[in-house]
Amino acid sequence: MDSLKRLLSENPRLLEMRYREREAVCEPSSPPIAVRLDGVGFGKRLKDFPAPRSKLVHAALVEVAKNLAMQHGASFVHVVSDEINLVFLNVVPYGGRTFKIISVLAAQAAAELTAKLGRPLYFDGRVIKLDSSCDAAKYILYRARVGLNNYVVQLARATGLIKTQTPHIEELLPKVEIGDFELAWGSFMSKEDGYLKNSDLCRAVSTLCEIC
């Protein structure tokens, strides 16, 4: 599978170093940027849903993310695990006021997901500065790879494959069964495609840059 091979070619540790230092702590934020919303304590609050990831929860997150993207004009959306990534390539909401972007989008996502799943849920948020649309594609690959890593490790732990030290993902993949890659590396939506949900990673990021 091309998308899987492309993800495995990336080193998530190097990518984390690359994007961690770009998290905005001042304002204003100018495009292109990514806004990442991370669920707070979802493991405990959603423990009655199927593990390691629930299709119902994922579908609700995708719907919330689509609403955010349409309202605020995001160019690209990625949803994986308890995380929503919104990429703004040309314009940013609220005149680039970083703290307003983070607080409003996190609050809106929390309110909408709480209503859909019927329990109080919260997000924290951050803004990551991007260099270009190709850098945005690389950032999405990074978050998809983190999502895949975590999913595979959770599957391996559930089946008793991990006792103490966690092996590399390449060692675990042949031993676990990934029934749904949409849950593993996420769903993608682009403004260009009318925010239609897409689970083909390489096809999706090609709307940003030909890096697959």
Cα distances (angstroms) measured from residue 23 to each of 38, 81, 126, 170, 199: 14, 21, 7, 29, 27
Cα distances (angstroms) measured from residue 82 to each of 25, 60, 134, 185: 23, 11, 24, 12
Tell me: domain 28-179, CATH 3.30.70.3000, correct? yes
Phi then psi dihedrals of residue 96, to 5 deg:
80, 10
DSSP state of 50: P
pLDDT at 159: 84
| SS3 (DSSP) at 9 | coil
Domain residue ranges in the chain: 28-179
pTM of the model: 0.92
The stretches in the chain having pLDDT less than 70 are 1
pLDDT tens string 151-167 = 999 999 888 887 777 88
pLDDT tens string 74-91 = 999 999 999 999 999 999
Residue with tokens 């495995």: 8
Measured CA to CA, the distance from residue 36 to residue 9 in angstroms comes to 23
ω before 50 within 30° of 0 (cis)?
no
pLDDT at 1: 59
Q: Among residues 204, 179, 182, which one has the least CA distance to residue 191?
A: 204
Q: Among residues 71, 68, 59, 64, which one has the least CA distance to residue 186?
A: 59
pLDDT at 161: 83
Evaluate whether 110 touches 123 at the Cβ level (below 8 Å).
Answer: yes
With residue 112 as reference, give the H or E element that holds it. Answer: helix 98-117
Evaluate whether 211 touches 201 at the Cβ level (below 8 Å).
Answer: no
pLDDT at 171: 87
